[in-house]
Amino acid sequence: MEKLFKLEEKGTTVGREIVAGITTFLAMAYILAVNPGMLGSIGNGMTFGSVFTATAIASAVATLVMAFWANLPVALAPGMGLNAFFTYTVCFGMGCSWQLALTAVLIEGLIFILLSVFGIREKIINAIPAGMKKAVAVGIGLFIALIGLANAGIVSSETGTIIGFVNFNMAAKPAVVAMIGLIITVVLYLLNVPGAILLAIIATTIIGIPFGVTTIPEGWKPFSLPEAPLLFKFEWAGILSVKFFVIMFTFLFTDLFDTIGTLMGVTQQANLVDEEGNIPNAKAALMSDSIGTVVGACLGTSTVTSFVESSSGVAAGGRTGLTSVTTGVLFLLALFMTPLFALIPSAATAPALIFVGFLMMKQVADIDWQDPTEGIPAFITIIAMPFAYSISKGICLGMIAYVIAKCAGKKIKDIPVATWVLAVIFIADLIFEAVK
């Protein structure tokens, strides 16, 4: 175990890694309900059960590849946003079959494998300046905190303002339970209780029972057999069309920078990066989501990507691939224990996401705010992620702002060639998005 994961070198233990892996799984287990529910609504042969099986297996495979190849505490699953694009834009909006959408996901994954083999994706990560990498981590912290607040119903757009806190009365039971869970999380953390976040999730789930937030169905059984996935259901007839290219490019671009942003944020939080802010084993980490995406497409689910909820496991002490092994195994077990994991409400996992926002906010102090050419792009990156509800959009706007700020500040020499290339690509993507 020590030789494989280098636990002592990373300053961690087997017990701590297992707790971290369980914490990550609980924080992202919602994908096992949300993804099948979303893709299953397409119908025409795509069912909740088949997508559930595909989601669990693809997540497990990608996460285990991350564990044993990259030795990083990062879990993967079909990405939120990408599954919505798959369902509501490609299938419902553009009228494409889910088979054609899966074909676009497959080709995207194969392209990513090639980009990863030749180190192109790794070079993109290294082209992002050190200060911007820290800004990405902070922005992701705010982004997942907002996800937690929204999942629990603590914030809403129905408060008479753009967004606001709900009234904490018994009509907002999930919000009340989540706030209790957040208090428990903070208290356990300040008391240095091992596995504080995981214990808080379990406690909040139990507290949710009398509130009616955690519901136990009549005749409930913790075990069930999985439904067979949709194997190799591809449609090749329309792959040379402009429509198909637009679909595939959108999957490709969004997944690329969601993954890069997540890897940078989580590894920064875990203090696993080198002095220049580069991610260890970046090529292997990027190959993990490429392989996961190909496997997922073959099984019948949307693009697999690194999950920002991995930061909850890092907050619980995860530092190595053993964390990911634990999460991957739980995804496989979930195939047979769907009802058990379905008991955990989003109000119980929301406090973990909110609290991780605090932990990731710490890196804001390492940004050079005295230099406007560093501070302004960092600020734009940080605010864009939660407000645009997109990690990739935050990176996109931040990098464009970085080049503009350095040029205006007469510090053009500070801009690496690769950063110029990224900025041009991002500008082209914004134009493409505006006219498509």
For residues 274 and 290, give the distance between their C-alpha atoms in angstroms, rounded to a whole number.
24
Nearest alpha-carbon partner for 66 in 322, 243, 249: 322
Opening angle at CA 82, ends 68 and 293, nearest 5: 35
Alpha helix locations (H) across 66-195? Answer: 82-84, 98-117, 120-127, 130-151, 173-190
Average of per-residue pLDDT values in the chain:
87
Handedness of CA 153, 154, 155, 158 (dihedral sign): positive
Q: 195-204, 322-331, 370-379: which has the minimum mean pLDDT?
A: 195-204
Of 53-62, 129-138, 346-355, 386-395, the range with the highest mean pLDDT is: 53-62
Tokens in use for 25?
A: 């799984």
Checking if the pLDDT of 392 tops 90, the result is no
Q: Is 213 helix (H, G, I), strand (E, B) or coil?
A: coil
Predicted pLDDT at 134: 84
User: How many other C-beta atoms lie within 10 A of the C-beta of residue 417?
Assistant: 8
Position with higher pLDDT, 330 vs 168: 330
Q: 12-21, 279-288, 372-381: which has the minimum mean pLDDT?
A: 279-288
Predicted pLDDT at 342: 67
Which whole number is the average pLDDT over 379-389? 90
Position with higher pLDDT, 152 vs 341: 152
Q: Is-contact 21 317, C-beta < 8 A?
A: no
For residues 306 and 121, give the distance between their C-alpha atoms in angstroms, rounded to a whole number.
14
Predicted pLDDT at 425: 83
Model pLDDT for residues 99-149, shown as the tens digit of each residue = 999 999 999 999 999 988 888 878 877 778 878 888 887 887 888 788 889
Sequence-distant (6+) residues with CB within 8 A of 92 are: 42
Tokens in use for 229?
A: 């996935």
For residues 138 and 268, give the distance between their C-alpha atoms in angstroms, rounded to a whole number.
10
For residues 182 and 164, give the distance between their C-alpha atoms in angstroms, rounded to a whole number.
18
Q: What is the DSSP letter of 46?
A: B
Q: Is-contact 59 304, C-beta < 8 A?
A: yes
Checking if the pLDDT of 295 tops 90, the result is yes
Q: What percent of the chain has pLDDT over 90?
A: 40
Predicted pLDDT at 171: 64
Which whole number is the average pLDDT over 226-241? 90
Nearest alpha-carbon partner for 392 in 308, 267, 268: 308
Model pLDDT for residues 406-416, shown as the tens digit of each residue = 999 999 998 98
Model pLDDT for residues 298-319, shown as the tens digit of each residue = 999 999 999 888 988 998 889 9
Q: Is-contact 127 422, C-beta < 8 A?
A: yes
Residue 79: φ, ψ to 5°: -75, 140
Q: How far apart are the first and last CA of the chain?
A: 51
Predicted pLDDT at 252: 84
Checking if the pLDDT of 188 tops 60, the result is yes
Kindly report whether the global pTM for this prediction surpasses the value 0.85: no
Checking if the pLDDT of 366 tops 70, the result is yes
Predicted pLDDT at 341: 67
**Chain Cα centroid distance, residue 28:** 9
Opening angle at CA 270, ends 265 and 271, nearest 5: 95
Checking if the pLDDT of 200 tops 80, the result is yes
For residues 113 and 16, give the distance between their C-alpha atoms in angstroms, rounded to a whole number.
32
Handedness of CA 169, 358, 71, 135 (dihedral sign): positive
Cα→Cα distances 46→103, 269, 293, 303, 331, Å: 15, 38, 18, 16, 21
b/e per residue, 16-29, with b = 16+ CB within 10 A? bbbbbbbbbbbbbb
Predicted pLDDT at 204: 93
| Structure confidence at residue 354 as a pLDDT band (50, 70, 90) | confident
| Structure confidence at residue 29 as a pLDDT band (50, 70, 90) | confident
For residues 98 and 86, give the distance between their C-alpha atoms in angstroms, rounded to a whole number.
8
Checking if the pLDDT of 251 tops 60, the result is yes
Model pLDDT for residues 71-83, shown as the tens digit of each residue = 999 999 998 778 8
Which whole number is the average pLDDT over 263-291? 84
User: How many other C-beta atoms lie within 10 A of the C-beta of residue 164?
Assistant: 13
